[in-house]
Structure 1
Amino acid sequence: MNPQSNPREIIENARRGGYAVGAYNMHNEETTEALLWAAEQADSPVFMQVGRAIIPHMGVTRAFDMTRRIAERSNAKYVIHLDHGSWDEVMEALKLGFSSVMYDGAHLPFEENIATTRKVVEIAHAFGVPVEAELGKIPDAGESVDWEDYYTDVEESRRFVAETGIDYLAISVGIVHGVIPGIPLAPINIQRIREIKAATGIPLVLHGASGLTEREIIEARAAGVHKFNADTDLRHAFRAGLEAVFARGDRQLEEAMAEGRARMVEATIHKMQQYGCAGKAAHAKAA
């Protein structure tokens, strides 16, 4: 049996080494295998992310059971991470054995977000589990927004981290959820990342990392981002495999999913190389 790796050590190694680790969403068995096979081939640690798409589809418990069953048979250095969890989902995840959780109280008034997140941290730390939280708003791709209303505020970040005790902070600096082909994304605000890192002193996280340029990834890593969450690029790779098979006429679904899985493996390895975590799995220890 291959147990989960220690998320704190993975992130701390990334911080010391000046690189980042990737957190990617699973959607079924084939996509779960794709992420783990990519981690094995790239010799990279990986955050296996139970995200907002899979939870309505199968629930936190079934998603965790599927991921753990496949991961324990692999040789990958992995963490099972809850993404954008509600209070109830975080409590369920802690009881199940997730080794990393994100509590999302960003929709709450600031004072309430602090109070609720602080309680989550107290409970999760009692389980030995680190907590990620988010400040700022992240729009969907294609939305027209005034970025100054969406960026994470530096002084709020300082207070939020000090009063909650979170381990990692997800921030909004110009990133979006999703990618619309043919529509370029606005450049992310690297200076804001530097300012938030200086104010908080903890590792930062960028959600919506699909579509970032190579230069933005390198600069974000240097500024203090040590975890990237990416899903859309990998789903597109999986979908391209399905479409390539069915474009040849009627085929078995298993053949199409196998091609999707193969293309997702390739796309995930590319992300790991970009983030700098390829070749770093040897540093990951069991939780």
Structure 2
Amino acid sequence: MRKVNPMALVERARHNGYAVGAFNMHNPETTQALIHAAKNSNSPVFLQVGRAIVPHMGLEEAFRMTRRELENSDSEAVIHLDHGTYDEVFLALKLGFDSIMFDGSHLSFDDNVEATRHITAVAHSFGVPVEAELGKIPDAGTDVNWADYYTSVEEAEEFVAKTGVDLLAISVGVFHGIPPTQPLPLDIERIERIRDAVGIPLVLHGASGVPLDDLRAAIGAGVHKLNADTDLRHAFRRGIEQTWALGDRQLEEAMAEGLRLMTQATIQKMNEFGCAGMATPVNDMVMS
């Protein structure tokens, strides 16, 4: 298992004009799919312990499961806490997560700044980078007045200056999940203005369902970590449903087909994001 510097992955992406894929796991098989995809496409990857798996499995077990699956892998993989609460962040640091995201977007601006600044100081003392979110990212199907959701350029500049975060997730027209209708184009100009104001790599959550041209424009504008889950989860589900549609089958057979289709879907994302082929050779990394 490699010891990976999360910010080195993102800074390399920024330097070379692509985005690192960040994907969520839900069980051992979906974790294996992401690791297989990273190996087969020679891609760096963020393995995200997120808001679906934590209620299902618990933060500690989800982390241990991910580490177990990575034990015999030489993939350039980061174990990342996604949308962590205040308490989860400190547990994640204790457990040994490689990077964390604190989601204080539900707080007032001042409270978000205060909480994020404290978390960042503690995380940095552990050598762990911090991603934070400013603006609100709606769930697919939500009736959205985007003026209430977009990240403010001025607030982003102030937020980063006061908190010292390493990565900033922004709201520029993305949803969590796939919207039922054609999504509006991303606000690329806003991404560029935020990039110029904050000077750190930007993150887009909700990359599933976003047109490829928009994703590539976002990368060019300063987004170098792209989060996607729904498309991959649907691929896994499709493998299970197609297997069971053949008649009585063992659960293991259905799960194996789900794993295979999710691996394929993840490789496709890695190619689209530009990170396929961009992993650092194992001999150049420090082993742990």
TM-score by length of 1: 0.97
Q: Distance in 1 between matches of 2:89 and 2:208?
A: 25
What are the superposed Cα offsets for residues 90-145 of structure 1, whole Å, 9 maximum, x if unpaired? Answer: 10100111010001111111111101100000000000000000000111111111
Q: Distance in 2 between matches of 1:107 and 1:14?
A: 29
Q: Any gaps of 5 or more consecutive residues in structure 2? A: none
Which position in structure 1 is the counterpart of 2:161? Answer: 162
- Tell me which amino acid in the other structure corresponds to 2:184: A
Q: Map 1:201-220 onto structure 2 (within 5 A).
A: 201-220=199-218
Q: Map 1:29-108 onto structure 2 (within 5 A).
A: 29-108=28-107
- Residue 231 (structure 2) pairs with residue 236 (structure 1): no
Partner-residue secondary structure (3-state), 1:254: helix
Give how far 1:194 is off: 0.5
Which position in structure 2 is the counterpart of 1:117? Answer: 116
% identity of equivalent residues: 60
1:139/1:176 contact within 8 Å kept: yes
1:9/1:285 contact within 8 Å kept: no
2:2/2:285 contact within 8 Å kept: no
- Tell me which amino acid in the other structure corresponds to 2:198: T
2:179/2:209 contact within 8 Å kept: no
2:81/2:97 contact within 8 Å kept: yes
Select 2:182's aligned residue among 181, 184, 187: 184
Give how far 1:186 is off: 1.5
Q: Map 1:242-253 onto structure 2 (within 5 A).
A: 242-253=240-251
- Tell me which amino acid in the other structure corresponds to 2:121: E
- Residue 251 (structure 2) pairs with residue 256 (structure 1): no
Backbone CA RMSD of aligned residues: 1.2
Q: Distance in 2 between matches of 1:145 and 1:212?
A: 16
1:6/1:285 contact within 8 Å kept: no
What are the superposed Cα offsets for residues 150-170 of structure 1, whole Å, 9 maximum, x if unpaired? Answer: 100000000000000000000
Partner-residue secondary structure (3-state), 1:205: strand
Question: Which segment is superposed worse, 156-165 or 274-283?
Answer: 274-283
TM-score by length of 2: 0.97
Give how far 1:188 is off: 1.0
What are the superposed Cα offsets for residues 26-77 of structure 1, whole Å, 9 maximum, x if unpaired? Answer: 0001000000000000000010000000000111100000000111211211
Which position in structure 1 is the counterpart of 2:192? Answer: 194
2:178/2:230 contact within 8 Å kept: yes
Partner-residue secondary structure (3-state), 2:58: helix
Which position in structure 1 is the counterpart of 2:269? Answer: 271
Q: Distance in 1 between matches of 2:107 and 2:143?
A: 23
Q: Which runs of at least 4 in structure 1 moved beyond 4 Å after TM superposition?
A: none
Partner-residue secondary structure (3-state), 2:176: coil
Partner-residue secondary structure (3-state), 1:24: strand
Q: Distance in 1 between matches of 2:106 and 2:75?
A: 35
